[in-house]
């Protein structure tokens, strides 16, 4: 089924939440992440910086399989990127995704890290789309640390944040691929979470398969 050419995919309001539209750009489906529908402070001050940042990070990652292409900035406050025709990873049942999908996903994360970028929001299932292969989307919170930067020491920690996101999905979708080191990490993570008093986390049975 061909989706309509200009469809609003999300418009939940909130001053920092852009309207998301599926549009057509030079004959191809694209995504428009648009802050122009928001208040004047967002539109004029916050959005230009946010949009430029996300665009620059995507451009820096260009060529890595599994990262959508940045196409343009429109009107200073909207970002156009390649449209990925897939469903987010949470829509798939355990066992539905092949081991190859995990290998591709891990390779994309590693290639992104090799270019000095940490995504930092990979625990969100909505940020991993699976189409012909897995894709990472939403680089709004991503951080780029340049070679030689004093923040380089912190980058190892930021990479771990992404790796823990990846591990969460590995445990759910590919438990047979978990290594002993992965299981240790998951156990440590779970005991830390049980100490977390601010938002008590209830363990879900489906996450305990390992
Ligand atoms: N490149 C893309 N291809 C397909 N859908 C996308 C793409 N980028 C965003 N979306 C859809 O729009 C939603 C919001 O986009 P996202 O970049 O996560 O915005 P936000 O920074 O506000 O969270 C995503 O969860 C996804 O459903
Ligand atoms: Mg998002």
Is residue 1 situated within a structural domain? Answer: no
Name the pairing type of β-strands 28-34 and 70-74.
Answer: unpaired
Residue 76 lies in a domain: yes
The residue whose CB lies within 8 Å of the most ligand 1 atoms, and thus the one to mutate among 137, 140, 142, is 137
CATH number reported for the structural domain that contains residue 16 in this entry:
3.30.200.20
- At 84-104, the pLDDT tens digits run 999 999 999 999 999 999 999
**SS3 label, residue 106:** helix
Q: Do 51 and 122 fall into the same domain?
A: no
pTM of the model: 0.91
CATH of the domain at 127: 1.10.510.10
Number of Cβ within 10 Å of residue 7's Cβ equals 11
Contact 43, 32 (CB under 8 A): no
Token duo for residue 82:
């390649």
Q: Whose CA is nearest to atom 1 of ligand 1?
A: 83
The stretches in the chain having pLDDT less than 70 are 1-4, 196-210
Enumerate residues lining ligand 1, CB below 6 A: 9-10, 17-18, 20, 31, 33, 68, 81-84, 126, 129, 137-138, 140
| Tokens matching residue 81 | 């990127």
**Do 155 and 53 fall within a single domain?**
no
Q: How far is CA 89 from the centre of its chain?
A: 11
What is the per-residue pLDDT for 191? 80
**Which among 67, 82, 97 is the end of a domain?**
82
Q: What is the pLDDT of residue 34?
A: 97
* Ligand 1 centroid – CA 205 distance (Å): 28
Same domain, 19 and 95: no
Nearest CA to ligand 1 atom 22: 17
Model pLDDT, residue 13: 86
Q: Which residues surround ligand 2, an ion (CB under 5 A)?
A: 138
Q: Based on the domain organization, do 65 and 148 belong to the same domain?
A: no
């Amino acid at each position: 089924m061909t989706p309509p050419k200009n469809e609003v995919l999300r418009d939940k309001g909130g001053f920092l939440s852009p309207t998301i539209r599926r549009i057509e750009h030079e004959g191809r489906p694209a995504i428009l992440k648009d802050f122009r529908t928001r208040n004047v402070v967002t539109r004029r001050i916050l959005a230009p910086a946010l949009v430029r940042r996300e665009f620059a990070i995507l451009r820096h990652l260009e060529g890595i399989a599994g990262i959508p292409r940045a196409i343009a900035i429109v009107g200073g406050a909207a970002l156009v990127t390649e449209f990925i025709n897939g469903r987010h990873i949470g829509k798939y049942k355990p066992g539905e995704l092949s081991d190859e999908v995990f290998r591709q996903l891990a390779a994309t994360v590693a290639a992104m890290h090799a270019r000095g970028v940490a995504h930092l929001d990979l625990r969100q299932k909505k940020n991993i789309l699976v189409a012909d292969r897995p894709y990472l989307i939403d680089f709004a919170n991503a951080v780029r640390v340049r070679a030689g930067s004093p923040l380089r020491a912190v980058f190892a920690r930021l990479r771990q944040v992404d790796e823990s996101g990846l591990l969460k999905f590995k445990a759910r979708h590919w438990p047979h691929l978990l290594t002993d080191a992965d299981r240790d990490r998951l156990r440590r993570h779970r005991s830390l979470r049980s100490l977390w008093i601010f938002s008590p986390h209830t363990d879900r049975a489906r996450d305990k398969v390992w």
